[in-house]
Amino acid sequence: MTGLPLPPVPEPYHLPFHYGALHNIGVDYLVDRARASELLAKRHPGLSVAAFDGGACVSLNFQLYFAQYPNGGGITQELEINLIAHPVFAEERMPVVNYGQYARGYDQTKLLGIARLHVLCDNPLAIDAGRRLYAEPKHPGWFETTLPSLNAPDVRERWSVSCRRAALGPDGLSRHDEELLALDVNLVGLTPESVNNTPITGYGTDDEGKLLAGPLNVYQPYRYYALDDRTADRVRLDLGNPAEESARDLAHLIADAPAAGVWTYQSPPVAAHNRAYYVR
Protein backbone atom coordinates (compact mmCIF):
# COMPACT_ATOMS: atom_id res chain seq x y z
CA MET A 1 0.00 0.00 0.00
CA THR A 2 1.35 3.43 -0.96
CA GLY A 3 0.59 6.76 0.65
CA LEU A 4 1.64 9.02 3.49
CA PRO A 5 1.74 8.00 7.15
CA LEU A 6 -0.38 9.99 9.58
CA PRO A 7 1.48 12.57 11.70
CA PRO A 8 2.33 11.22 15.15
CA VAL A 9 0.21 11.97 18.23
CA PRO A 10 2.78 12.39 21.00
CA GLU A 11 2.02 11.67 24.63
CA PRO A 12 0.13 12.83 26.63
CA TYR A 13 -2.22 14.01 23.89
CA HIS A 14 -5.22 12.31 22.28
CA LEU A 15 -7.16 13.20 19.15
CA PRO A 16 -9.68 14.39 18.34
CA PHE A 17 -9.57 17.21 20.87
CA HIS A 18 -13.12 17.99 22.03
CA TYR A 19 -14.20 21.50 22.94
CA GLY A 20 -16.70 21.80 25.80
CA ALA A 21 -17.60 25.36 24.77
CA LEU A 22 -16.34 27.78 22.12
CA HIS A 23 -16.70 31.55 21.79
CA ASN A 24 -15.13 32.81 18.61
CA ILE A 25 -14.84 35.94 16.48
CA GLY A 26 -13.05 36.24 13.15
CA VAL A 27 -12.31 39.35 11.10
CA ASP A 28 -11.29 39.14 7.44
CA TYR A 29 -9.39 41.67 5.33
CA LEU A 30 -8.86 41.64 1.57
CA VAL A 31 -5.24 42.66 0.97
CA ASP A 32 -2.53 42.88 -1.67
CA ARG A 33 -1.85 39.40 -3.00
CA ALA A 34 1.83 39.96 -3.82
CA ARG A 35 2.67 40.93 -0.22
CA ALA A 36 0.68 37.98 1.09
CA SER A 37 2.38 35.54 -1.29
CA GLU A 38 5.84 36.75 -0.31
CA LEU A 39 5.17 36.22 3.39
CA LEU A 40 3.41 32.88 2.90
CA ALA A 41 6.34 31.49 0.88
CA LYS A 42 8.65 32.08 3.86
CA ARG A 43 6.37 30.30 6.33
CA HIS A 44 4.57 27.66 4.27
CA PRO A 45 6.31 26.90 0.95
CA GLY A 46 3.84 24.10 0.22
CA LEU A 47 0.93 26.55 0.09
CA SER A 48 -0.34 29.17 -2.36
CA VAL A 49 -2.35 32.22 -1.38
CA ALA A 50 -6.00 31.96 -2.38
CA ALA A 51 -7.17 34.60 -4.85
CA PHE A 52 -10.33 36.53 -3.98
CA ASP A 53 -11.38 39.28 -6.36
CA GLY A 54 -7.73 39.83 -7.29
CA GLY A 55 -6.56 40.03 -3.69
CA ALA A 56 -5.72 37.78 -0.76
CA CYS A 57 -7.50 37.26 2.55
CA VAL A 58 -5.97 37.86 5.99
CA SER A 59 -8.13 36.33 8.71
CA LEU A 60 -7.82 37.15 12.41
CA ASN A 61 -9.37 34.46 14.60
CA PHE A 62 -9.89 34.86 18.37
CA GLN A 63 -11.10 31.89 20.38
CA LEU A 64 -12.07 31.41 24.00
CA TYR A 65 -12.74 27.74 24.70
CA PHE A 66 -13.29 25.31 27.55
CA ALA A 67 -12.15 21.68 27.61
CA GLN A 68 -12.94 19.01 30.20
CA TYR A 69 -10.29 16.47 31.18
CA PRO A 70 -10.40 13.42 33.49
CA ASN A 71 -8.94 15.45 36.35
CA GLY A 72 -10.69 18.77 35.79
CA GLY A 73 -11.11 21.46 33.16
CA GLY A 74 -9.24 24.28 31.52
CA ILE A 75 -9.98 27.56 29.74
CA THR A 76 -7.83 28.76 26.84
CA GLN A 77 -7.72 32.00 24.87
CA GLU A 78 -5.82 32.35 21.63
CA LEU A 79 -5.63 34.54 18.56
CA GLU A 80 -4.54 33.35 15.12
CA ILE A 81 -3.17 35.53 12.33
CA ASN A 82 -3.91 33.58 9.15
CA LEU A 83 -3.78 33.77 5.40
CA ILE A 84 -6.37 31.85 3.41
CA ALA A 85 -4.44 29.43 1.22
CA HIS A 86 -4.45 26.05 -0.51
CA PRO A 87 -1.80 23.44 -1.35
CA VAL A 88 0.37 24.35 -4.32
CA PHE A 89 -0.48 21.08 -6.10
CA ALA A 90 -4.22 21.80 -5.89
CA GLU A 91 -4.25 24.95 -8.03
CA GLU A 92 -6.24 23.35 -10.84
CA ARG A 93 -8.67 21.63 -8.45
CA MET A 94 -9.81 24.79 -6.71
CA PRO A 95 -13.34 26.05 -7.36
CA VAL A 96 -13.53 29.68 -8.47
CA VAL A 97 -15.21 31.57 -5.61
CA ASN A 98 -15.16 35.19 -4.57
CA TYR A 99 -14.65 36.25 -0.97
CA GLY A 100 -18.35 36.39 -0.13
CA GLN A 101 -18.88 32.88 -1.47
CA TYR A 102 -15.89 31.56 0.47
CA ALA A 103 -17.16 33.18 3.68
CA ARG A 104 -20.55 31.54 3.17
CA GLY A 105 -19.03 28.07 2.82
CA TYR A 106 -19.39 27.55 -0.94
CA ASP A 107 -16.03 25.77 -1.14
CA GLN A 108 -16.64 22.28 0.19
CA THR A 109 -13.40 20.78 -1.11
CA LYS A 110 -11.94 22.25 2.10
CA LEU A 111 -8.65 22.71 0.29
CA LEU A 112 -9.05 26.39 1.09
CA GLY A 113 -7.86 26.69 4.65
CA ILE A 114 -6.10 28.88 7.18
CA ALA A 115 -2.32 29.10 6.89
CA ARG A 116 -1.23 30.13 10.34
CA LEU A 117 1.41 32.85 10.45
CA HIS A 118 1.25 33.52 14.20
CA VAL A 119 -0.82 32.04 17.02
CA LEU A 120 -0.78 33.80 20.40
CA CYS A 121 -2.09 31.76 23.33
CA ASP A 122 -2.40 32.03 27.13
CA ASN A 123 -2.30 28.31 27.98
CA PRO A 124 1.15 26.60 28.11
CA LEU A 125 -0.40 23.16 27.52
CA ALA A 126 -2.30 24.40 24.45
CA ILE A 127 0.88 26.05 23.13
CA ASP A 128 2.76 22.75 23.38
CA ALA A 129 -0.13 20.74 21.90
CA GLY A 130 -0.57 23.13 18.98
CA ARG A 131 3.11 23.00 18.12
CA ARG A 132 3.49 19.22 18.41
CA LEU A 133 0.16 18.06 16.96
CA TYR A 134 -0.52 20.60 14.21
CA ALA A 135 2.82 22.40 13.63
CA GLU A 136 1.24 25.69 14.68
CA PRO A 137 3.60 28.66 15.11
CA LYS A 138 2.19 29.09 18.61
CA HIS A 139 3.65 31.49 21.18
CA PRO A 140 2.64 32.96 24.53
CA GLY A 141 0.31 35.92 24.85
CA TRP A 142 -2.41 37.01 27.24
CA PHE A 143 -5.76 38.70 26.72
CA GLU A 144 -8.18 41.26 28.05
CA THR A 145 -11.61 40.84 26.49
CA THR A 146 -15.21 41.99 26.50
CA LEU A 147 -17.51 39.47 24.80
CA PRO A 148 -21.28 39.19 24.38
CA SER A 149 -22.65 37.11 27.25
CA LEU A 150 -26.02 35.96 28.53
CA ASN A 151 -24.62 36.68 32.00
CA ALA A 152 -24.22 40.37 31.10
CA PRO A 153 -27.17 41.12 28.83
CA ASP A 154 -26.17 44.77 28.40
CA VAL A 155 -23.10 43.63 26.40
CA ARG A 156 -24.70 42.86 23.05
CA GLU A 157 -22.70 42.12 19.94
CA ARG A 158 -19.71 44.17 21.09
CA TRP A 159 -16.43 42.30 20.96
CA SER A 160 -13.20 43.74 22.31
CA VAL A 161 -9.95 41.74 22.35
CA SER A 162 -6.59 43.06 23.52
CA CYS A 163 -3.62 40.71 23.10
CA ARG A 164 -0.53 41.47 25.16
CA ARG A 165 2.99 40.09 25.23
CA ALA A 166 3.82 37.16 27.50
CA ALA A 167 6.70 34.76 28.08
CA LEU A 168 6.96 31.13 29.10
CA GLY A 169 9.18 30.19 32.00
CA PRO A 170 9.58 27.45 34.63
CA ASP A 171 6.66 28.93 36.58
CA GLY A 172 4.36 29.10 33.58
CA LEU A 173 3.13 32.19 31.74
CA SER A 174 4.46 35.59 32.77
CA ARG A 175 2.50 38.65 31.63
CA HIS A 176 3.83 41.93 30.27
CA ASP A 177 1.90 45.16 29.73
CA GLU A 178 2.94 45.67 26.11
CA GLU A 179 -0.01 45.41 23.74
CA LEU A 180 0.59 43.46 20.52
CA LEU A 181 -2.76 44.14 18.87
CA ALA A 182 -6.31 45.04 19.76
CA LEU A 183 -9.63 44.47 18.02
CA ASP A 184 -12.83 46.32 18.72
CA VAL A 185 -15.89 45.15 16.79
CA ASN A 186 -19.35 46.71 17.07
CA LEU A 187 -22.01 44.54 15.39
CA VAL A 188 -25.01 46.17 17.08
CA GLY A 189 -27.81 46.70 14.58
CA LEU A 190 -26.22 44.63 11.81
CA THR A 191 -28.08 41.61 10.49
CA PRO A 192 -26.03 38.39 10.33
CA GLU A 193 -26.41 35.45 7.98
CA SER A 194 -26.34 31.87 9.23
CA VAL A 195 -23.52 30.13 7.33
CA ASN A 196 -22.11 26.61 7.28
CA ASN A 197 -18.42 27.25 6.62
CA THR A 198 -16.89 24.33 8.53
CA PRO A 199 -14.93 22.14 8.75
CA ILE A 200 -12.14 24.68 8.78
CA THR A 201 -8.87 23.28 7.46
CA GLY A 202 -5.87 24.52 9.41
CA TYR A 203 -2.46 24.23 7.73
CA GLY A 204 0.92 23.91 9.43
CA THR A 205 4.49 23.28 8.29
CA ASP A 206 6.67 21.21 10.61
CA ASP A 207 10.40 21.51 11.30
CA GLU A 208 11.15 19.08 8.45
CA GLY A 209 9.21 21.20 5.97
CA LYS A 210 6.27 18.79 5.78
CA LEU A 211 2.86 20.35 5.20
CA LEU A 212 0.05 18.99 7.36
CA ALA A 213 -3.63 19.80 7.69
CA GLY A 214 -6.02 19.47 10.62
CA PRO A 215 -9.78 20.04 10.22
CA LEU A 216 -11.87 21.75 12.91
CA ASN A 217 -15.55 20.81 13.00
CA VAL A 218 -17.98 23.27 14.58
CA TYR A 219 -21.34 21.60 15.04
CA GLN A 220 -23.62 24.61 14.54
CA PRO A 221 -23.65 27.45 12.00
CA TYR A 222 -21.59 30.60 12.30
CA ARG A 223 -23.08 34.10 12.13
CA TYR A 224 -21.53 35.99 9.21
CA TYR A 225 -21.59 39.77 8.82
CA ALA A 226 -20.70 41.04 5.34
CA LEU A 227 -19.17 44.52 5.58
CA ASP A 228 -19.08 47.27 2.97
CA ASP A 229 -18.01 50.92 2.72
CA ARG A 230 -20.79 51.95 5.11
CA THR A 231 -20.05 49.36 7.81
CA ALA A 232 -16.31 48.61 7.59
CA ASP A 233 -15.65 51.18 10.31
CA ARG A 234 -17.48 48.89 12.75
CA VAL A 235 -14.10 47.12 13.06
CA ARG A 236 -11.12 48.86 14.61
CA LEU A 237 -7.69 47.23 14.63
CA ASP A 238 -4.84 48.76 16.62
CA LEU A 239 -1.32 47.40 16.29
CA GLY A 240 1.35 47.59 18.94
CA ASN A 241 5.13 47.72 18.82
CA PRO A 242 6.30 47.12 15.20
CA ALA A 243 9.39 45.41 16.63
CA GLU A 244 7.08 42.52 17.52
CA GLU A 245 6.95 40.14 14.56
CA SER A 246 3.22 39.48 14.74
CA ALA A 247 2.30 43.19 14.73
CA ARG A 248 4.88 43.94 12.03
CA ASP A 249 3.62 41.19 9.71
CA LEU A 250 0.02 42.23 10.22
CA ALA A 251 0.78 45.89 9.48
CA HIS A 252 2.65 44.86 6.34
CA LEU A 253 -0.22 42.71 5.11
CA ILE A 254 -3.21 44.85 5.96
CA ALA A 255 -1.79 48.37 5.44
CA ASP A 256 -4.94 50.52 5.22
CA ALA A 257 -7.33 47.83 3.95
CA PRO A 258 -10.81 47.94 5.53
CA ALA A 259 -12.40 44.88 7.13
CA ALA A 260 -14.39 42.84 4.60
CA GLY A 261 -16.32 40.51 6.89
CA VAL A 262 -16.84 39.30 10.44
CA TRP A 263 -17.94 35.87 11.63
CA THR A 264 -18.92 34.87 15.16
CA TYR A 265 -19.83 31.74 17.06
CA GLN A 266 -20.92 31.28 20.67
CA SER A 267 -21.76 27.96 22.22
CA PRO A 268 -25.36 27.83 23.43
CA PRO A 269 -25.88 27.44 27.19
CA VAL A 270 -26.50 23.93 28.46
CA ALA A 271 -27.97 24.78 31.89
CA ALA A 272 -29.20 27.78 33.88
CA HIS A 273 -29.25 28.37 37.62
CA ASN A 274 -32.43 30.39 38.05
CA ARG A 275 -33.40 33.27 40.34
CA ALA A 276 -34.02 32.39 43.97
CA TYR A 277 -37.40 32.78 45.65
CA TYR A 278 -38.54 32.98 49.26
CA VAL A 279 -40.03 29.78 50.64
CA ARG A 280 -41.76 31.55 53.56
Q: What is the CATH number of the domain that holds 178?
A: 2.40.400.10
Q: How would you label 146-178 residue by residue, b for 16+ Cβ within 10 Å and e otherwise?
A: ebbeeeeeeeebebbbbbbbbeeeeeebeeeee
Report if residue 5 sits inside a domain.
no
Considering only residues 240 and 114, tell me which one the structure prediction assigns the higher pLDDT. 114
| Domain assignment of residue 277, yes or no | no
At 211 the pLDDT is 96
Is residue 273, in this structure, part of any structural domain at all?
Answer: no
Residue 56 has pLDDT above 90, yes or no: yes
Whole-prediction pTM: 0.95
Q: Could you list the residue range(s) of the whole structural domain that residue 134 is in?
A: 21-266
Other CB atoms closer than 10 Å to residue 100's CB: what's the count? 15
**Does some domain include residue 8?**
no
Q: Please, which pLDDT band fits residue 1 given cuts at 50, 70 and 90? A: low
Give the pLDDT band (50/70/90) at residue 244.
confident
In a domain, 147, yes or no: yes
- The answer to whether residues 80 and 114 touch, using CB atoms and an 8 Å cutoff, is yes
The larger pLDDT score, comparing residue 98 to residue 154, is at 98
- 272 in a structural domain: no
Q: What is the dihedral of CA 53, 58, 63, 68, to 10 degrees?
A: 90
At residue 127 the predicted structure's pLDDT band, cuts being 50, 70 and 90, is: very high
Q: Say what percent of the chain tops pLDDT 90.
A: 89
Is position 183 within any domain?
yes
Q: Is the pLDDT of residue 225 over 90?
A: yes
Q: Are 96 and 65 in contact (CB under 8 A)?
A: no
Q: Is residue 19's pLDDT more than 90?
A: yes
Report pLDDT for 74.
Answer: 93
Q: In the 3-class helix/strand/coil scheme, how is the chain assigned residue by residue?
A: CCCCCCCCCCCCCCCCCCCCEEEEEEEEEEECHHHHHHHHHHHCCCEEECCECCEEEEEEEEEEEEEEECCEEEEEEEEEEEEEEEEHHHHHHCCCCCHHHHHCCCCCCCCCEEEEEEEEECCHHHHHHHHHHHCCCEEEEEEEEECCECCECCCCCEEEEEEEEEEEECCEEEEEEEEEEEEEEECCCCCCEEECCCCEEEEEECCCCCEEEEEECCCCCEEEEECCCCCHHHEEEEECCCCCHHHHHHHHHHCCCCEEEEEEEECCCCCCCCCCCCCC
Signed CA dihedral, 40, 41, 44, 46: sign only: positive
Residue 2, pLDDT > 80, answer no
Whole-number pLDDT of residue 243: 80
What does pLDDT average to over the chain? 95
How confident is the model over 13-32, as a mean pLDDT? 96
- What's the structural domain count of the chain? 1
Inter-CA distances, 149 with 35, 146, 265, 269, Å:
38, 9, 12, 10
Residue 51, in any domain of the structure: yes
Which positions ≥6 away from 136 have C-beta within 8 Å? 116, 119, 130, 202, 204
